[in-house]
Amino acid sequence: MINYIWAFLISLGIFYSIFKGDNNITNTLLTSGSTSIDMIINISTIMCLWLGVMNIARKSGLLNIIAKKLSPLITILFPEIPKGDECISYISLNIVMNMLGLGNAATPFGIKTMKELKRLNNKKDIASRSMITFLVINTASVTIIPTTVISLRLLNGARNSSDIITASIITTFLSLIISLIVDRLFFLIWRRKYD
């Protein structure tokens, strides 16, 4: 499936550029990878910081305490995760960072969560139900304080840059709840049809 998404994006981009007679396409293709270097440098420093700090939290038993406390809540959303499992604390931290609009800090916990979910998954290369639910929570982006949007509004002279917060909270939670219902429906339909 990822094969098809990737091929689709690339071929659509190249086809359309040629179709429109964009002479710059060769240049775009050759230089388009350069942003990935900036991205990986940014991600890796944050990743090192958080995995380092979280290793201390894990060894000192702090992660276990968080996992036990949040277990009842998270296992409603992820019925396949055993109660008190370590990945519950990573999931919670990812959600908390996203809620605060700190997408950069959320990514390391997201990737760590996916690794832990793979450990719990008995099929090697097939996505598990928990993984998809986790992705839905991430793509629906539960933001209480949309920091980027607020700063853009401020930049463009909004009268009150943070008056969007109430509306944003309502929107984000309503769409999250509906998305989670859709996710569960798809899980039930998919299990009956394809598994």
Partner 1 sequence: MINYLIPTLVLVIIIYGLYKKIDIFDTFLEGVKEGINTSYKLFPTIFAMVISINLLTSSNLIEDLSKVLLPVFKIISFPPEVLPLALMKPVSGSTSIVILNDILSKYGPDSYIGRLSSLIGGCTDTTIYIISLYFGTIGIKKIRYALIVGLLADLICFIISTLVTNLLF
Subset of residues 132 to 161 that bind partner 1, contact rule: CB under 8 A:
132, 135-136, 138-141, 143, 145-146, 148-149, 152-153, 155-159, 161
Given a contact cutoff of 8 angstroms between Cβ atoms, the answer to whether 84 and 69 are in contact is no
Which residues 6+ apart lie within 8 Å of 60 measured at CB?
Answer: none
What is the rounded distance in angstroms from the CA atom of residue 69 to the CA atom of residue 22?
56
Given a contact cutoff of 8 angstroms between Cβ atoms, the answer to whether 115 and 166 are in contact is no
Binding residue for partner 1 (CB under 8 A) from 71, 92, 130, 172? 172
- 3-state class of 3 per DSSP? helix
Q: Which two tokens stand for residue 87?
A: 């990945």
For the chain, how many residues are written? Answer: 195
Q: Is 73 in the site for partner 1 (CB under 8 A)?
A: no
Site for partner 1 in 87-116 (CB under 8 A): 100-103, 105, 107-108, 110-112, 114-115
Site for partner 1 in 51-70 (CB under 8 A): 51-57, 59-62
Nearer to partner 1, 6 or 72 (CB): 6
Residue recorded with tokens 């989670």: 180
Binding residue for partner 1 (CB under 8 A) from 28, 79, 82, 83? 28
Binding residue for partner 1 (CB under 8 A) from 16, 73, 82, 83? 16
Compute how many residues bind partner 1; rule: CB under 8 A: 96
